[in-house]
Amino acid sequence: MIENRNSQDIKEMIPFDEAYEIVMRSAFETGTETVSYTASPGRIIAGEVISDIDMPPFDKAAVDGFACRQSDLGLELEIIETIPAGKWPEKSVGERQCSKIMTGAALPAGADCIIMVEDAELLPAGRIKFNGTFSKENYASKGEDVKKGDILIKPGKLIRPQDIAVMAAAGHVKVTVARMPLVAVISSGSELVEPEEFPGISQIRNSNASQLMAQTGRAGAKGIYYGIAGDNEEITYDIVVKALSESDIVLITGGVSMGDFDFIPAVLRRAEVKILFDRVAVQPGKPTTFGVHSKGVVFGLPGNPVSSFIQFEMLVRPLIYRMMGYKWDPIKIELPMKENFVRKYTGRMALLPVMITDDGFVKPVEYHGSAHISSLSEASGIISIPSGESTIKKGEIVSVRQI
């Protein structure tokens, strides 16, 4: 439990499931805002969408044909009117009468069925005769799909393009959505240079920040990049304090291990962040750190890009969704392994990037460790291997969490 953990002197490595529960219990609501329905795809709806009309709003033709009375189907019928879509019928259909009608047009009074054009024989003097087999009325009844006042979309749903059509039909043009969490992204390490720079001796390009910003956007949050904090505690402290004051979630990559310049945990404590865990029994991502602050939460993610990517997907993304009220269940596919997989070290749960082959099998990507970022480009998902287990056999069914 959080309450029993000494946040100032954490030394034990906790199971991943416990780390996940700690993170989820730290979620807080981000509030709501109102946006145009056309700007809402990808947002999480926070209010109900209620229809202001019946759908269909009237008895509506489902085919092109002739509206008539079922009792007259064996008789010659007089065409008394043509009804295009968008025009209200002017005449009622009586005995031995029909109206020519187009798909989407309103059914005239007196008619209780529509015969299709191809089932009608055209006769002289503006008359027809039904020569088919009657099977259905061929019109949709008023309110058949939706009644006025029906709730069409409930809170907590990710808005998709098909939901926009529902909103448009219901006249729901202003939508209440969860406010996007503000996510600060900070990279730590004097060895880093920005991607547009050519790295010098002992330098590497900063790939983590761009990756985390993209992951943040995909999760429906708004990323704010605060740049690279070199190996200087005072500069790092100033950046962290600014980020804490301006965001809901702070992500710091690098500086959370055990090296001489890995002072991020000390900076966080100085900034009044209560650290709830700083080591997780998972591979990759063991030095993942998490803490809470009066204004938000903080993640210290490993500097290795594969580690930071996977821990974002496993911990940060679910938190973002929880804060917006989205009940997210990551897509998982059950598939067989294409080949045997064996690992040497079994003391931690493993999260292994895998690809799904064209023939429907799962195969680990070529993966040289948590710095091997190019392996993720080939990966379509992640599988987990419990601690203590070393082998997955060929043909064994595994659960692939898509990424």
| Backbone angles phi and psi of 298, in degrees to 5 | -135, 135
Cα–Cα dist 186/183, whole Å = 10
Q: For the domain 332-402, what is the CATH code?
A: 2.40.340.10
* Residues recorded for the chain: 403
Superfamily of domain 2-31+180-323: MoaB/Mog-like domain (3.40.980.10)
pLDDT value of position 12: 81
In this structure, what is the dihedral angle of CA atoms 128, 134, 135, 137, given to the nearest 10 degrees? 50
Write the DSSP string, 14-65: EEHHHHHHHHHHT-----EEEEEGGG-TTSBB-S-EE-SS-BSSS-EESSSE
Looking at residue 232, what is its pLDDT?
84
pTM value is 0.86
d(Cα 222, Cα 118) in Å, to the nearest integer? Answer: 56
Four-residue CA torsion sign, 370, 371, 375, 379:
positive
Query: By the 8 A CB rule, do 319 and 297 touch?
Result: yes
Kindly report, residue by residue over 258-317, the tens digit of the pLDDT: 554 467 888 999 999 999 999 999 999 999 999 999 999 999 999 888 999 999 999 999
Residue 70 contacts residue 83 (beta carbons within 8 Å): no
Looking at residue 326, its pLDDT comes to 95
Q: Which fold, 33-54+146-178?
A: Molybdopterin biosynthesis moea protein, domain 2 (3.90.105)
Rounded distance, CA 79 to CA 399, Å? Answer: 63
Cα–Cα distances in Å, from 80 out to 64, 99, 123, 126, 218?
16, 6, 14, 8, 58
The pLDDT tens digits of the residues spanning 48-64 come to: 999 999 999 999 999 99
* pLDDT(5) > 80: no
- What DSSP letter does each residue of 203-252 carry, written as one string? -EE--HHHHHHHHHHHTT-EEEEEEEE-S-HHHHHHHHHHHHHH-SEEEE
Q: What share of the chain is helix, strand, coil (3-state, %, to 5)?
A: 20, 30, 45
CATH class name, domain 60-140 = mainly beta
**Token representation of residue 207:** 């790939």
What was the pLDDT predicted at 256? 60
Neighbours of 175 (CB within 10 A): 23
Q: What is the pLDDT of residue 258?
A: 54
d(CA 215, CA 317): 8
Every domain of the chain and the residues it spans: 2-31+180-323, 33-54+146-178, 60-140, 332-402
Q: What is the pLDDT of residue 375?
A: 73
Q: Return mean pLDDT, the chain.
A: 91
Strand, coil or helix: 313:
helix
Model confidence at 10: pLDDT above 60:
no
pLDDT exceeds cutoff 70 at 7: no
